[in-house]
Chain A
Amino acid sequence: MSIEIRHLSKTFPNGFQAVKDVSFNMETGSLVAILGPSGSGKSTLLRMIAGLEIPDRGEILLTGREATLLSARDRNVGFVFQHYALFRHMTVWDNIAFGLQMRKATKEEIKHRVAELIHLVQLDGLEKRYPTQLSGGQRQRVAVARALAPHPQVLLLDEPFGALDAKVREELQEWITELHEKSQVTTLFVTHDQHEAMSIASHILVMNRGIVEQEGTPLEIFDHPATEFVAQFVGETNYVDAVVTEPELAIWGPFKYSVTGYAAGQKVRIYFRPNDVYITSREESLQVKGKITKTRFKGPVIELEIEVGGDKPVLAHVPKGLTLASGFVEGRQVFVGITGFHQFALPGQ
């Protein structure tokens, strides 16, 4: 089922405007993430699509059909809650069967479908357990199976892995991707975790303060942030405030950035990622001198803090092997270059 959102807005009775004029389209069978910090309106948007909140303005079209004011029970969507919301007095089997019973499926159909789903979510043998007797990861799988049981046209997941520990979260992220490939159900999930959004979704909507800041593939969003918010929210980043000294040239510390469309004297904020900073022992072209002041172990990469003579140190991510081989330790003199950056005019300019 395709989802079409047109100019959707929602203000809560306490005056908080959660969603402001949001529009987007989602194709049948796609897997899309809504990424944003808490309070960005992402959950409210999802709940409006499910029919759990009523929008003040705008339209929701499911498969081209107007569904803005349709009751949640008539939308044929599956919803997975952050804290599972399993029926605690029912067994795993009864939880999964609930939606089918409500939709008046025959006993045979229910038996068949529940067995199929229990197998799909790898919970064989746990049919008679109650939610309290399951681990967090198992509970969330039951919740997904319960949502999928009545053959929803779209699966909505609200921070589905937020309450799980890192290891289980990774497993479930992989699992949900496989599940999507198998079932081909149009899937929309909400998350505040950019890694989760990037690794699962084929398409991401970045939301902030009730609006969609950017929409695109993970690669587009990571490499070409459309707004300053996206640049600083997605991926780790350095930012420095540079001054435009002459047309098409901004300067911060020893770095010169070629920028277009600014007048001399204007200030611009420059964003560049730590993995776009390259460090060498011997000077190459377009590099400046710096000194490593701090090193932090970050697993596959080492984060170096490098003093280059600006108002703050520059962060660089260097592969662990290279750091060790080149002897990049605290106090070492190095040469620093930047391979890519994004600039945004500072507010009020």
Chain B
Amino acid sequence: MSAAIGHLTRGTSGPRTGQLTEPRWIQIILILVTLGFLGLFLFVPLAAVFTEAFRKGWSVYVAAIGEPVALAAIRLTLLAAAIAVPFNLIFGVAASWCIAKFEFMGKNILITLIDLPFAVSPVISGLIYILLFGAQGVFGDWLQAHHVQIVFAVPGIVLATTFVTFPFVARELIPVMQSTGTDQEEAALVLGANGWQTFFKVTLPSVKWGLLYGVILCNARAMGEFGAVSVVSGHIRGVTNTIPLHVEILYNEYNFAAAFAVASLLAFLALITLAAKTYVEHQFQKSSAVIPVDS
């Protein structure tokens, strides 16, 4: 609320009855509006997912998740995240390290490019891979001649997931690295550390919470991504379906109980992510508390 105009009422005698915040009725209205909004758009849908999932009982729930096709979807989702997240971790650290610690030509272009996956619709991100690696695509003939399948196969899903999630780590790290400046690295250098030692002993530890925060967000998105993956997947059951795609198929087959059961897995993931994010955020704030410059 930017309109936090306080008014100070001061008694002519006796103790001061100062009031530097909004009147109580405004506070109550604001709290109710916020809670109402959160309830309607977050808590009710979340509750609905779990009620629908367990509507037909625990056994149906377990059966829906234990089904081979569902298990394959879970495996594929985990595989895509297991490849995309480490890759983006390395890319994110490298990109933010150069952007925050060095001056070079084209730095602003690089920053803009990192944001590209955020700006582009995920469906377009998926289509790019079809245009490049599909049967009629740029590399289509060459890939077919060498029997390499990228789209409508696991590599396509990994590629699309990686593309969509690559800004997360870098975006999180760039401001953290910029705010710590280069003093500590220079100190390490003068003290005899080489580049790798400086990076692993000084730079990385000072950004570790920001890094973990970025990885958590990256992972959540990698597992939940629908649009880009949907385009390159081809929806082959048990082979190229991730959890979100599997949920869609079940839903379209009017198999609501199973759809919501599998969806509840993603909802669980969201809750775990939120908890982890809150914890990391707390640590992060503690570690980046500004050193006051006083005696």
Chain A residues in the interface with B (C-beta under 8 A): 13, 50-52, 71-73, 75, 77-79, 81, 83-90, 98-99, 102-103, 131-132, 135-137, 139, 146-147, 149-150, 163-165, 167-168
Contact B183 A98 (CB under 8 A): no
Q: Is the CB of B190 within 8 A of A72?
A: yes
Q: Which residues of chain B (182-212) have a CB below 8 Å from chain A?
A: 183-184, 186-194, 197, 201-202, 205-206, 208
Report the bound CA distance from A136 to B293 in whole Å: 6
Q: Which 9 A-B pairs have the closest CB atoms?
A: A85-B183, A99-B191, A102-B192, A168-B295, A89-B205, A85-B187, A79-B190, A163-B293, A73-B192
* Alpha-carbon gap, A164 to B289, bound state (A): 19
Say if the beta carbon of B19 comes within 8 Å of chain A.
no
- Cα–Cα distance between A206 and B10 once the two chains are bound (Å): 57
Among A83, A84, A98, A163, the most chain B Cβ lie within 10 Å of the Cβ of A98
B159 to chain A, nearest CB (A): 36
Interface residues on B, range: 20 to 34
- On whether the beta carbons of A81 and B206 are closer than 8 Å, the reply is no
Q: Which residues of A contact B187 (CB under 8 A)?
A: 79, 81, 85-87, 146
CB-based nearest B residue for A103: B192
Q: Are A73 and B194 in contact (CB under 8 A)?
A: yes
* Closest Cβ–Cβ distance, residue B100 to chain A (whole Å): 16
Q: Mark B89-121, 1 if CB is under 8 A from A, else 0.
A: 000000000000001000000000000000000
Given contacts A87-B184, A99-B192, 5 further A-B contacts (CB under 8 A): A52-B189, A73-B190, A78-B190, A85-B187, A165-B295
Q: What is the bound-complex CA distance between A136 and B201, given in angstroms? A: 24
Within 8 Å by CB of A102, from B193, B287, B295, lies B193
A164 touches B295 (CB 8 A): yes
Q: Is the CB of B291 within 8 A of A50?
A: no
Q: How far is the CA of A99 from the CA of B291 in the complex (A)?
A: 23
Give Cα distance in the complex from A75 to B191, angstroms. Answer: 9
**Contacting pair B193 A135 (CB below 8 A):** no
Q: Taking CB as reference atom, which chain B residue is nearest A163?
A: B293
Tell me if A102 and B186 are in contact (CB < 8 A).
no
> Are B190 and A137 in contact (CB-based, < 8 A)?
no
B294 at the A interface (CB under 8 A): yes
Distance of A102 Cα from B293 Cα, bound (Å): 28
Residue of A nearest to B289 (CB): A132
Q: Which residue of B lies closest to A74 (CB)?
A: B192
The B267-295 residues at the A interface (CB cut-off 8 A) are: 287, 289, 291-295
Q: How far is the CA of A71 from the CA of B194 in the complex (A)?
A: 10
**CB within 8 Å for A83 and B191 given contacts A132-B291, A136-B293:** no
Complex Cα–Cα for A73 and B189 (A)? 5
Chain A residue with the shortest CB-CB distance to B286: A132
Q: Is the CB of B190 within 8 A of A52?
A: yes
Q: Do A50 and B190 have beta carbons less than 8 Å apart?
A: yes
Chain A min CB distance to B151 (Å): 44
Cβ contact within 8 Å between A135 and B295: yes
Q: Identify the interface centre among B103, B202, B289, B291: most chain A CB within 10 Å of its CB.
A: B291
Please give, as numbers and ranges, the residues of chain A lying within 8 Å of B186 by CB-CB distance. Answer: 52, 72, 79, 81, 85
From B103, B192, B206, A150 is in contact (CB under 8 Å) with: B192
Tell me the bound Cα distance from A213 to B202 in angstroms.
Answer: 39
B291→A131 contact, CB < 8 A = yes
Contact B183 A88 (CB under 8 A): no
A31 to chain B minimum Cβ distance, whole angstroms, is 20
Give the distance to chain B from A160, nearest Cβ to Cβ, in Å: 13
Q: What's the Cα separation between A150 and B192 when bound, in Å? A: 9
Chain A residue numbers with a CB within 8 Å of B189 are: 51-52, 71-73
B190 engages A51 (CB within 8 Å): yes
Return the chain B residue nearest A165 by Cβ. B295
> Are B295 and A98 in contact, CB atoms less than 8 angstroms apart?
no
Contacts of A165 in B (CB 8 A): 294-295
The smallest C-beta distance from A99 to any residue of chain B, in angstroms, reads 4
Complex contacts, B192 vs chain A, CB 8 Å: 73, 99, 102-103, 150
Interface centre among A51, A86, A87, A137 (most CB of B within 10 A): A87
Q: Is the CB of B190 within 8 A of A77?
A: yes
